[in-house]
Amino acid sequence: MQETPENGTNGQRQMLSGERDYESAIDRVIDSAQHTLHIFDGDLASGGYSSLKRYDALNAFLRKSGKNRLIIILHETEHVSAYCPRIMNLLKSYSHAMAIHKTMEHARIAMDPFVVADDLHYVHRFHRDGTRSLLAISDPAGARQIEERFQQLLEASHPAVFATTLGL
């Protein structure tokens, strides 16, 4: 990890390289979240989302308050449905506080996963196939930009994974 200059913010920014650093940064952002947690990823196949540690962190966040909200936006939802049973259990337990959306076709050009918490903390991977990313803690200006992107992606998505399967 390399620390970068603070660029006029009171927060901390670190350039990261490698999957372990990225996963640790996601954990740090989740642990810092107090009210909202917004995740954008291609499919949650990388980043440690199927791990027990990630489940525990997300569960702790959702348990903190009945007002806490977790929204996940994905390009593809098959992986999370088939290979992330802990995420699916969270969705069943916290369907009032959690949603998983899928992007529409025109939004699938976005290839830079990120996690943003409380419009204040974030980790941003520059390309889903790369290893470089940026962790920022207490960076409201940078988080605002990431949050604006999240809102644009949210507008270009629809709810896609649900806590229950309906059928005959």
SS3 75: coil
How does residue 3 score in pLDDT terms, banded at 50, 70 and 90? very low
Does this model's pTM top 0.85? My answer is: yes
Q: Which two tokens stand for residue 127?
A: 């390309």
Identify the structural domains of the chain with CATH numbers, from first to last: 11-161 (3.30.870.10)
Quick: pLDDT tens for 80-126.
999 999 999 999 999 999 999 999 999 999 999 999 999 999 999 99
Q: By C-alpha distance, which of 77, 82, 87 is closest to 48? A: 87
- Please tell me the distance from the alpha carbon of residue 141 to that of residue 144, in angstroms, as a whole number: 5
The angle, 0 to 180 degrees and rounded to 10, between the axes of the packed helices 52-64 and 85-93 is 10
